[in-house]
Amino acid sequence: MNFRYIECTSTNQLVQNFYEFNVGDESIPLSSKILPTAQSHIIFIDSDSNLETNFKNATFNNKGLVIIGQSYKSYAIKANTPLFIFGINFHPTALYKILKTDISKLTDKHINLSKIDNILFELLEPIFKENIKGETLAKRLETQLSKLDLYECKNTILVDDVIKVIYNKEGKINVEELLKRFPISQKNLEIQFKKIVGLTPIKFIKLYKFLSLMKQYESKKSSITKLVDYYEYYDLSHFTKDFKLFMNQKPSDYFKSDNELLNNYLKV
């Protein structure tokens, strides 16, 4: 099993980074838990059989080009044959600007891109048939995506600015503090944020803070005890409560188990 991130060649408002993931015979069957990264994605799955994605109330089976909406809690993936995945990690507002539709409709869904937007599918799908990978593939996708006509308005600008603050604070901020910085009501912020990003601001902040902590831990930059304090959890029991919420297991069970894929993509 091999996982790596690929950085963009230039700063842009759509793609945060790319990744590629190879699973060989030695890692099949694959069964892994996935922690959402507070991003939406488009991925290309090259495999002889479908990749199975299991949420609490839904199961998706896909290969080829797949669009992945936001998720709030961890979900499981399963594969029975070797596979190659190339993923595009979008900025949280990017899909709204591209698709010009309510992104909350994609929350907790993994759907073939052709069923959501055939124009975007036909723009990207030929690139994946060129039999290129790595940085070359990433650069081709970057170039193609830069040709898109994006929808922007005062609400997308506002939500982008709110997300910048959340990022800068590493999730250590609440909605009340955001409302003091931006000229918007709490109800309108929740409506616009959910429509443009796919999650409410409260859920996005909570997920991003937990994700930031887990990235620091998996990169071996600090101990859990220090990170719980740094990310301003009230105490260890409050962190444990959030851990169970996002990971659907106790921290003690997670830390003594083998999570090779999760460990790799959480490293920064």
42 closest CA partner among 134, 138, 155, 132: 138
Is residue 41 over pLDDT 70?
yes
Whether 134 contacts 86, CB under 8 Å: no
> Could you report the per-residue pLDDT of 23-36, keeping only the tens digit for each?
999 999 999 999 99
d(CA 246, CA 233): 15
- Give the number of other CB atoms < 10 A from CB of residue 134: 12
What burial class does residue 67 get, using C-beta atoms within 10 Å of its C-beta: 0-12 exposed, 13-18 middle, 19+ buried?
A: buried
DSSP assignments along 66-81, one per residue: EEE---SS-EEEEESS
pTM: 0.94
pLDDT at 47 over 80: yes
Return the beta strands (E) in the chain as ranges: 2-6, 15-23, 30-34, 41-47, 51-54, 59-62, 64-68, 75-79, 83-90, 110-112
So what's the architecture of 2-145 in CATH?
Sandwich (2.60)
- Comparing 130-139, 155-164, 193-202, 221-230, the range with the smallest average pLDDT is 221-230
Rounded to the nearest 10 degrees, the angle between the axes of helix 236-247 and helix 201-218 is 100
Kindly report, residue by residue over 168-227, the tens digit of the pLDDT.
999 999 999 999 999 999 999 999 999 999 999 999 999 999 999 999 988 887 888 999
The model's confidence at residue 111, banded by pLDDT at 50, 70 and 90, is: very high
Task: Residue 180: count other Cβ atoms within 10 Å of its Cβ.
Answer: 7
Helix axes 186-197, 201-218, angle to 10 degrees: 60
For the chain, the domains span: 2-145
